[in-house]
Amino acid sequence: MSARGPGRSARSTTVDASTLRPLDVLRVGASGPRARTTRTALSALGVSIGIAAMVGVLGLSESSKSALLDEISALGTNLLTVEPGTGFGGGDGQLPDSAVSSIERLDGVETASAVYPVEADVLKNEFVGTGETGGLSVIAADDDLLDTLNGAVAAGTWHTDATTAYPTVVLGSVASERLGIDTLDEPTYVYLGDEYVQVIGILEEFPLSADLDRSVMMGLTAAIEYYDAEPAASSIYTRVDDGSIDQVRDLIPATADPASPEEVSVSRPSDALEAQAAADDTLTTLFLGLGAVALLVGGIGIANVMVIAVIERRGEIGLRRALGATRAHIRRQFLTEAVILSVLGGITGVGLGVVATYVYSTTQGWRVIIPTWVAAAGLASAIVIGAVAGLYPATRAARLAPTEALRA
């Protein structure tokens, strides 16, 4: 029994609980990935593939959708195309000569322009075989066709009152490529029928009008006079008031061909673009699902690596516990490691997705559009995957008793 001298008082000694600041947690958590670089790279690879797939799919979806919207805007949603359908007995129908003027008189119709078939072959020169037309067709066109279709001239000029009566031609974008004509700096000619005619213009590509892109177009007056063309339209392009589209669409068949309205086909080209946009949305959802599966597999890979890390580092865990680290500290360390692995994969995946979007969009001639929220969502997904994947290994590491861990 000990005696206490006068004036002395008993003092209790307390030990402060071990603390681990956020910066310390990050430093300790990063030590594992730094020490095992190969394992870190392979673990992050699964997450990066999933994130790259999701960012790439969303980026390409936005870029392609922007291109479609540009096409719809250029084409206009108020354009109707009138064509002869299948005639009685299964043969091709034919529109009356008066079809264009009759359609123009309908209320709500702003303008109507037509193209007419011309029975002639177009060749680069007279030495090319007559059967080697390259799939090009010769048509006659109304003077206001370009305005009706919101078309543009790439080189030269469109038909005017001064040229439409003479055998001059304007080339569609595909026709100019196949004939090897991309500039009109000097007088240029093609062999049409059995004579050379001058090329006065080259057109930009028409949205959803591949037939016009593959055509060589001349004025209707010249086509009738020099090539015996008939003034029966093969296609009539009709621009309509936005509020009258459905009404005019219903009236056109009986107006264009009162005798056989059932043989008149009316379509709206923008419907095809809108259907394509809807199909693209469906494909985007499908590929996002595949990306999510890849991301899940990457998360499982991280969880597996972290479980192995806990088993391999039981001695380290026991030593840290013996030196004062709490269960919470051990849990945070391994949870941080899992999140770091996943974030590394996420950053790499976002970068790969951005590069893939840029390269593919550029080759397709699209504007590159990668919304900020796509990259942010990719990184956020990586953090969530890392946290979920590391939860079980971190909890398992925290439950190890110091004596048990040190014996390992």
Q: Specify if 44 maps to a domain.
A: yes
Predicted pLDDT at 17: 47
Q: Which residues of 320-329 are buried (b: 16+ CB within 10 A; e: fewer)?
A: bbeeebeeeb
Comparing 10 with 182, the larger pLDDT belongs to 182
CA 129 – CA 377 distance, rounded (Å): 59
CA–CA dist 332, 26 (Å, integer): 9
Please report whether residue 184 resides in a domain.
yes
pLDDT tens for each residue of 340-365? 999 999 999 999 999 999 999 999 88
User: CA-CA distance, 258 to 287, in Å (whole number)?
Assistant: 49
Long-range contacts at 61-66 (CB < 8 A, ≥ 24 apart): 61/280, 61/281, 61/284, 62/369, 62/370, 62/371, 62/374, 63/357, 63/361, 63/364, 63/366, 63/367, 63/368, 63/369, 63/370, 64/280, 64/361, 64/364, 64/366, 65/277, 65/280, 66/366, 66/367, 66/369
Instruction: Tell me, yes or no, whether 117 and 181 share the same domain.
Output: yes
Per-residue pLDDT of 305-334, as tens digits, reads: 888 888 888 888 888 888 877 888 888 888
Say if residue 360 is in the same domain as residue 315: yes
Q: Please indicate, yes or no, whether residues 118 and 250 belong to a single structural domain of this protein.
A: yes
* C-alpha distance from residue 34 to each of 28, 37, 298, 350 (Å): 10, 6, 19, 22
Q: What is the reported pLDDT for 15?
A: 39
What pLDDT is stored for residue 221 in this prediction?
92
Domain count along the chain: 2
Is position 15 within any domain? no
* Residue in the block written with tokens 């007056």: 221
Look at 54-63, 109-118, 398-407 and tell me which has the smallest mean pLDDT: 398-407
- This model's pTM is above 0.85: no
- Whose tokens are 């730094």? That residue is 34
Is 328 inside any structural domain?
A: yes
On whether both 189 and 246 belong to a single domain, the answer is: yes
Spatial neighbors of 94 by CB under 8 A, at least 6 apart, are 84, 87, 232
Q: Does some domain include residue 333? A: yes
Pick from 47, 86, 27, 33: which is nearest to 265 by CA?
86
Domain coverage including residue 298: 22-71+274-407
Q: Which amino acid would we find at residue 217? A: M
Region 297-304: mean pLDDT is 88
- Is 6 a domain residue? no
Q: What is the mean pLDDT of residues 365-387?
A: 89
